[in-house]
Amino acid sequence: MTLQETTRLLLPSLLSIPSATSVVHHTSQSILLSFIMKFTNYLLTTATLASSVLAAPAPRTGLEDRLRARSLQRQSHPLAPIPLDTSTKENSRLLEADENTTHVTYSSNWAGAVREQPPPQGTYSAVSATFRVPEPTAQGGSGTQAGSAWVGIDGDTYSNAILQTGVDFYVENGQTYNDAWYEWYPDYAYDFDLDVSTGDTIVAKVEAISPSQGVATIENISTGKKATQTIRAPAATATLAGQNADWIVEDFQSGDSMVDLAGFGEISFWGVQAQGGGSTWGVDDATIVELKQGNEVLTDVEVQSDSAFTVKYTS
């Protein structure tokens, strides 16, 4: 029985209590009615508060809390090149590729493909690609390991700014987590309010409206949801030049250091496209970037066509 029904049943009985006189009777009725109404309101308020507490969303897991905190300091960085060393086996392979007109370079934080020269008739105004969110795997040790897949404008030969958007993937003690984000370097990255899971197919795109304003879009094809954000340059010295178009897997930075890179199997980019100078461009003639840390090359980039390539984790 509800509280309202109980009140309706009790009220007639309480009001029918006999009184000595009609004046006293009416006065008693008024006082009693006021008491009943106040008590009913108190019970209703208490019940509402209790139901609100019960309906509150469940707290995030410990892993998610830590990663949310880490994401507040998450930041991509421009390509960090490593000088070519022709004495190593890995560089011999890259030099052979160079003879076939494919330009390959090393980086300590990037792997993928970059168009390092602007279009003949202008600058890059939009960059996009589709990729599938990988399943990250821990590579020895403990703690959180992570990586990121993204598209962007600038950040290679022009390093004052990067307009970019993508998806991070994390693993800790067998648990995985992902977040979709946008960033205008040198500012930090900011998360989209968009659910992303391992195996989801993602379309990522950035557009430069002007040197100081752009748009980042992440569309989750697997869920049918999309998020878009207009972004402004964080400083007058951080405007875009439109010199580079990037399709990247990154060992990104959190706080003052790079995260431990998680294994990611392979990440395929397709529908790769850059717009600029009235034309559309792919990865033909792009620079291939391999990620190398210490003496170990951790990736193998394979180009399938002008609009598709794969970054394989090889460690």
pLDDT tens digit string along 228-239?
999 999 999 999
Tell me, yes or no, whether 185 and 112 share the same domain: yes
Characterise 174 by phi-psi region: left (phi > 0), alpha (psi -120 to 50), beta (else): left
First CA to last CA distance, the chain: 66
pTM attached to this predicted model: 0.74
Indicate if the pLDDT at residue 86 is higher than 90: no
Indicate if the pLDDT at residue 54 is higher than 90: no
Instruction: Name the token pair of 164.
Output: 């970019």
CA–CA gap between residue 247 and residue 155 (Å, rounded): 11
Residue type, 70: R
- CB–CB of 147/298 below 8 Å? no
Tell me, yes or no, whether 249 and 200 share the same domain: yes
Give the count of beta carbons closer than 10 Å to the beta carbon of residue 214: 26
What is the distance of C-alpha 229 from the center of its chain? 12
Indicate if the pLDDT at residue 250 is higher than 80: yes
Instruction: Name the token pair of 284.
Output: 């033909």
- Catalytic, 302? Answer no
Of 63-72, 121-130, 173-182, 235-244, the one with minimum mean pLDDT is 63-72
Last residue of a domain, one of 37, 55, 73: 55
Of 38-47, 148-157, 175-184, 267-276, the one with minimum mean pLDDT is 38-47
Tell me, yes or no, whether 164 and 202 share the same domain: yes
Residue type, 11: L
Query: Environment class of residue 83 by beta-carbon count within 10 Å: exposed (0-12), middle (13-18) or buried (19+)?
Result: exposed
**Predicted confidence band of residue 20 (pLDDT cuts 50, 70, 90):** very low
Distances in whole angstroms, Cα of residue 172 to Cα of each of 97, 114, 169, 204? 37, 30, 11, 26
Tell me, yes or no, whether 236 and 194 share the same domain: yes
Active-site entry in 116, 183, 207, 250: 250
Indicate if the pLDDT at residue 22 is higher than 80: no
Tell me, yes or no, whether 104 and 172 share the same domain: yes
- Which stretch of DSSP H or E encloses residue 63? helix 62-71
Tell me, yes or no, whether 89 and 233 share the same domain: yes
Indicate if the pLDDT at residue 4 is higher than 80: no
Tell me, yes or no, whether 155 and 287 share the same domain: yes
Instruction: Name the token pair of 297.
Output: 């090359």
Q: What DSSP line would sit under 123-170, residue for residue?
A: -EEEEEEEEE----B--SSSS-EEEEEEEEE--SS--S-EEEEEEEEE
In total, how many domains does the chain have? 2
Tell me, yes or no, whether 24 and 70 share the same domain: no
The whole-number pLDDT of residue 161 equals 98
Tell me, yes or no, whether 145 and 33 share the same domain: no
Range of the domain at 38: 3-55
Radius of gyration of the chain (CA): 30
CATH of the domain at 275: 2.60.120.700
Tell me, yes or no, whether 189 and 257 share the same domain: yes
**Predicted confidence band of residue 85 (pLDDT cuts 50, 70, 90):** low
CA–CA gap between residue 95 and residue 92 (Å, rounded): 5
Tell me, yes or no, whether 67 and 207 share the same domain: yes
- CB–CB of 211/157 below 8 Å? no
Average pLDDT over residues 35-51: 45
Tell me, yes or no, whether 51 and 72 share the same domain: no
CA–CA gap between residue 65 and residue 179 (Å, rounded): 12
Average pLDDT over residues 112-118: 97
**Predicted confidence band of residue 273 (pLDDT cuts 50, 70, 90):** very high
Residues 6+ apart with CB under 8 A from 142: 173
- CB–CB of 60/68 below 8 Å? yes
Residue with tokens 């969303």: 57
